[in-house]
Amino acid sequence: MAAHAGLGIALALSVAVHAGGQGSAESAAAAGRGRILLVLPFDNSTGQPSLEWIREAAPDILSSRFASAGFAPMSRADRLYALDHLGLPQGFQPSRASSLKLAQTLDADSIVVGDYRTDGSALVAEARIVDVPHMRMSEPVTERGEMRDLIAVFDSLAWKLTRQLDPGFNVAEETFVAAGSGLRLNAFEQYIRGITEPDQAERVRHLQQAVKLSPEFSAAWMALGREDYNGQQYEQASASFAKVGADNADALEAGFYRGLSLMFSGEYGKAETAFGGVARVLPLAEVLNNEGVAISRQGHDGGALFRQAIAADPTRADYHFNLAVSLKRHGNSQEATAELVQCLKLHSNDSEAQALQTAWKQPAGSVGSAEPLERIERNFDAVAFRQAAVMMDQMEASRLAALTPQQRASTLTSQARDYLSRGLLLEAERLYQAAVAADGRAEDAHAGLAEVRERTGDSAGARKEAQAALELKPSAGAYLVLARMDLAASHLDDASREANEALKLNPNSPAAQALLRQLAARQGQPK
> Strand pairing of 110-119 and 136-137?
unpaired
CB atoms within 10 A of CB 348: 10
Q: Does a structural domain hold residue 108?
A: yes
Nearest to 220 by CA among 231, 234, 205: 205
Backbone angles phi, psi at 126, to 5 degrees: -130, 140
Together in a domain, 409 and 489: yes
Dihedral, 217, 222, 228, 232 alpha carbons, nearest 10 = 160
Together in a domain, 171 and 39: yes
Q: Does a structural domain hold residue 463?
A: yes
Number of domains within the chain: 3
Together in a domain, 400 and 353: no
The 3-class SS string of 17-52 reads HHCCCCCCHHHHHHHHCCCEEEECCCEECCCCHHHC
* Separation CA 437–CA 375 (nearest Å): 50
Q: Does a structural domain hold residue 196?
A: no
Whether residue 38 contacts residue 79, with contact meaning beta carbons closer than 8 Å, is answered with: yes
Instruction: Residue 312: give the domain boundaries.
Output: 285-380
CB atoms within 10 A of CB 474: 14
Q: Does a structural domain hold residue 406?
A: yes
CATH number for the domain including 448? 1.25.40.10
Q: Does a structural domain hold residue 70?
A: yes
CB atoms within 10 A of CB 57: 23
Amino acid symbol at 102: L
Residue that finishes a domain, picked among 380, 407, 431: 380
Together in a domain, 353 and 369: yes
Q: How many helices (H) and strands (E) does the chain have?
A: 26, 7
CATH number for the domain including 53? 3.40.50.10610
Nearest to 332 by CA among 368, 369, 306, 293: 306
Backbone angles phi, psi at 415, to 5 degrees: -65, -40
Q: Does a structural domain hold residue 48?
A: yes
- What confidence score (pLDDT) does residue 23 get? 35
Together in a domain, 367 and 426: no
Together in a domain, 39 and 72: yes
Together in a domain, 165 and 110: yes
- What confidence score (pLDDT) does residue 525 get? 59
Q: Does a structural domain hold residue 215?
A: no
What b/e sequence results for 478-504 when a residue is b if at least 16 CB atoms lie within 10 Å of its CB, and e otherwise?
bbbbbbbbbbeeeeeeebbebbbbbbe
* Separation CA 438–CA 127 (nearest Å): 33
Together in a domain, 84 and 129: yes
Together in a domain, 46 and 162: yes
Residue 131 three-state SS: strand
Together in a domain, 95 and 149: yes
Q: Does a structural domain hold residue 320?
A: yes
- What confidence score (pLDDT) does residue 58 get? 97
Together in a domain, 48 and 127: yes
* Separation CA 334–CA 328 (nearest Å): 8
Residue that finishes a domain, picked among 380, 407, 434: 380
- What confidence score (pLDDT) does residue 394 get? 79
Sequence-ordered alpha helix ranges (H) in 34-132: 54-68, 76-85, 96-105
Q: What pLDDT, in 10s, does the model give residues 51-110?
A: 999 999 999 999 999 999 989 898 888 888 777 777 777 666 666 667 777 777 777 889
Whether residue 439 contacts residue 17, with contact meaning beta carbons closer than 8 Å, is answered with: no
* Separation CA 165–CA 260 (nearest Å): 40
Residue that finishes a domain, picked among 148, 181, 214: 181
Backbone angles phi, psi at 187, to 5 degrees: -65, -40
Question: pLDDT tens digits, the chain, 527 residues: what are they?
Answer: 333 333 333 333 333 333 333 333 333 333 344 588 989 999 999 999 999 999 999 999 999 999 999 898 988 888 887 777 777 776 666 666 677 777 777 778 899 999 999 999 999 999 999 888 888 889 999 999 999 999 999 999 999 999 999 999 999 999 999 999 989 999 999 999 999 999 999 999 999 999 999 999 999 999 999 999 999 999 999 999 999 998 888 899 999 999 999 999 999 999 999 999 999 988 899 999 999 999 999 999 999 999 999 999 999 999 999 999 999 999 999 999 999 999 999 999 999 999 999 999 887 655 555 689 999 999 887 777 767 767 777 788 889 989 999 999 999 999 999 999 988 999 999 999 999 999 999 999 999 999 999 999 999 999 999 999 999 999 999 999 999 999 999 999 999 999 999 999 999 999 999 999 999 888 875 54
Together in a domain, 47 and 137: yes
